Amino acid sequence: MRNETKATNPVLELKNVSKTYSVKQGLLGKSRPLTALRDLSLRLEQGEVLGLVGESGCGKSTLAKILLGLEAPTSGEVLVDGAPLGSQDRLALARRIQPIFQDPYSSLNPRKTIADIISLPLRVHGIGDAASQQAAVREILDVVGLPSRVMHTYPSQMSGGQRQRVAIARALVMKPDIVICDEPTSALDVSVQSQILNLLADLRRDLGLTYLFISHNLAVVEHLATRVAVMYLGRIVEEAETEALFDGARHPYSEALLTSVLTPDPSLGVPRMNLGAAYPNPIDPPSGCAFHPRCAKATEACARQRPAPVVDEDGLIACFHPNGMAPTRSRPAEAAPRLSASV
């Protein structure tokens, strides 16, 4: 694992994190455990844009909430700058890590003015007096490209794109280092989406931000991310530099995801997807590799055992039959996980 000798500087790290919810099935049904994250490890490196992709329900938002300290993992560790998240002061953390969520409609309080919404974190943290808080609001509005006259308006008086700018302003007014973006442009029209994406890219350059960027839009991820992690049913199945991933994914699931991207090229038709079955039920996950029921390459071994994640110089891959020329070296002792541990 050469990766470990590479100089890395993770600002956020998940170590073997699992998250289990309890869900009721049907009106009178018993509660059953739903494992949204399974023994998941991930590092967010200083200054990178880590794209996180995967179908809905695979656990992306759960992962985001855990990184933000909004949800506690059932097991495993969350480290901020190498120290356990739980050991750190909540307010200090909020100064460093801020979220931008998908829905600019529901995440802004409709009864507060834009100035109130943006300055709330400053007031909570007791930063400055009223006058300096107003000045900070004006400054950050300028950064996100909103005129200062919007300060006294309400969210309902703004367009979707403007509201998402307000949400970004609210996240940035604390001058965080890390921004967790969960589908930040998914509710927006493309002409507005491009403005927000440009803004996020500019802010990263100007303020030196680190992003976790969750999106189901792979074209957007390819555009913005420096590295990508692909998730399937609560686990990371592949990690790679963006260019390498889009040049040739190693995991058959990543490959399927990339195939499904409809680039605006009229000389191409709709791809034929090679995904047999439907996305699995997380309450009843498949044995072995969770992707095996949908995988064209699946063999008997895939149904029986879960491929352990292998870290190499190209990133991470968890597959018995990865694409690519060189067969992936597996770690000798850990390659075949114990059966009991995999389900």
Partner 1 sequence: MTSPLLSVRNLKVDIPSGSGTLHPVRGIDFDLHRGEVLCVVGESGSGKSLTSLSLMGLLGRTLERSADRMEFDGINLLGASGRQMRKLRGARMAMIFQEPMTSLNPVYTIGDQLIEALLLHRRMPRAQARARAVELLEKVGITAAASRLGQYPHQLSGGLRQRVMIAMALMCEPQMIIADEPTTALDVTIQAQILRLLYDLVREMDMAMILITHDLGVVARVADKVAVMYAGELVETGTVAEVFDQPLHPYTRGLLDCIPQPGKTGRGEPLGTIPGIVPSLVGQVDGCVFRTRCTQAGPACLGPIPRRSRDGHLFRCVHTDGYAPAETKAI
Residues in contact with ligand ADP by the rule CB under 6 A = 21, 23, 34, 36, 54, 56-62, 282
User: How far is it, in rounded angstroms, from Cα 320 to Cα 213?
Assistant: 28
Q: By CB under 8 A, what part of segment 43-82 binds partner 1?
A: 55-56
With CA atoms as reference, report the closest residue to 97 among 217, 257, 212: 212
Work out what residue 21 binds among ligand ADP, partner 1, Mg ion, none; the CB cut-off runs from 5 to 8 Å by kind. Answer: ligand ADP
Kindly state the smallest distance separating residue 23's Cβ from ligand ADP, in Å: 5
Q: Are 32 and 25 in contact (CB under 8 A)?
A: yes
User: How far is it, in rounded angstroms, from Cα 340 to Cα 3?
Assistant: 28
| Interaction of residue 269 with partner 1, rule CB under 8 A | yes
Q: Which is nearer to Mg ion, 60 or 170 (CB)?
A: 60
One-letter amino acid of 183: E
* Among 35, 40, 59, 61, contact with Mg ion (rule: CB under 5 A): 61
Helices (H), 144-189: 160-172
- Identify how many contiguous H helices and E strands the chain contains and give both numbers: 11, 12
Helix 190-207 crosses helix 160-172 at what angle (to 10 degrees)?
Answer: 20
| Interaction mask 160-199, partner 1, x per CB under 8 A | -----------------------------xxx-xxx-xx-
> What would the two tokens of residue 213 be?
């960027």
| Interaction mask 215-254, partner 1, x per CB under 8 A | -xxxxx-xxx-----------------xx--x--------
Region from 31-39, 270-278, 321-329, 334-342 binding partner 1, contact rule CB under 8 A: 270-278
Q: Which residues bind Mg ion (CB under 5 A)?
A: 60-61
